[in-house]
């Protein structure tokens, strides 16, 4: 395992990425895009711990457990500039016309340092799968062909697979990578309020099993 600086937050805190494996398809797992969705951070940290013990895959995996580190430290959905990072990516449908303050997309697409680091990494690495760990009502929101992995996770957790969550999300990661760049993306919504031990027991084994399917991606 190697750890690197993935980027820097608005508060100048380093975003740390952990890298596992040296051959096979590239995959990115993000936790904490929304800093108040701690269930995703718990899951990402538990995956990190498991992979330090054993990484049994032919995969090149990059794991960023606290992508919005300022938000995590302040228990805030948004980053230090008050921007929802999952509405700020430079998608074709990006708009600063926002219905609710909690989805504030920033003054311009890709204006935020966290997202600038992410888009640069994506362009350089072209991952075959992305999993972004959130919490809300439990579901797997898939953009692009995520079926090998989503089917396994759904079977093990009971989470429903949905290609749309029912309302527009301009500037979100699933659109940017899954729909516009051919990088299949699972926005993984863990049940909000689930205890840390339950998150670890239910979701970590499901993701670990699904990653064996990712090995087969070309």
Q: Do 185 and 132 form a contact (C-beta atoms < 8 A)? A: yes
C-alpha–C-alpha distance, residues 173 and 68, integer Å: 14
- What's the start-to-end Cα distance of the chain, in Å? 23
Give the binding range for Zn ion (CB under 5 A) out of 16-24, 29-37, 143-151, 161-169. Answer: 29-37
Q: Does 78 bind Zn ion (CB under 5 A)?
A: no
C-alpha–C-alpha distance, residues 117 and 57, integer Å: 26
Give the binding range for Zn ion (CB under 5 A) out of 11-19, 89-97, 126-134, 203-211. Answer: 126-134
Secondary element (H or E) of residue 8? strand 2-8
Nearer to Zn ion, 173 or 183 (CB): 173
| Closest separation in Å from C-beta 190 to Zn ion | 10
Nearer to Zn ion, 37 or 112 (CB): 37
| Closest separation in Å from C-beta 34 to Zn ion | 4
C-alpha–C-alpha distance, residues 160 and 138, integer Å: 7
Q: Does 134 bind Zn ion (CB under 5 A)?
A: yes
Nearer to Zn ion, 59 or 131 (CB): 131
C-alpha–C-alpha distance, residues 21 and 89, integer Å: 28
Residues making contact with Zn ion (CB under 5 A):
34, 37, 134
């Amino acid at each position: 395992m190697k750890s690197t600086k993935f980027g820097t937050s608005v508060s100048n805190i380093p975003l740390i990425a952990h890298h596992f494996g040296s051959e096979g398809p590239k995959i990115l797992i993000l936790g904490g895009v929304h800093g108040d969705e701690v269930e995703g951070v718990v899951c990402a940290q538990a995956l990190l711990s498991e992979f330090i013990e054993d990484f049994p895959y032919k995969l090149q995996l990059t794991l960023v457990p606290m992508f919005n580190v300022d938000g995590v430290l302040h228990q805030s959905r948004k980053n230090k500039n008050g921007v929802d990072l999952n509405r700020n990516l430079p998608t074709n449908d990006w708009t600063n016309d926002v219905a609710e303050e909690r989805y504030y997309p920033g003054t311009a697409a890709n204006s935020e340092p966290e997202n600038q680091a992410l888009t640069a990494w994506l362009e350089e690495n072209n991952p075959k799968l992305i999993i972004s760990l959130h919490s809300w009502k439990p579901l797997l929101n898939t953009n692009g062909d995520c079926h090998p992995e989503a089917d396994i996770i759904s079977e093990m957790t009971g989470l429903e697979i949905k290609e749309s969550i029912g309302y527009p999300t301009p500037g979100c990661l699933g659109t940017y990578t899954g729909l516009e760049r051919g990088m299949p993306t699972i926005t993984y919504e863990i049940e909000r309020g689930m205890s840390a031990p339950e998150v670890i027991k239910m979701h970590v084994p499901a993701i670990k099993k699904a990653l064996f399917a990712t090995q087969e991606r070309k």
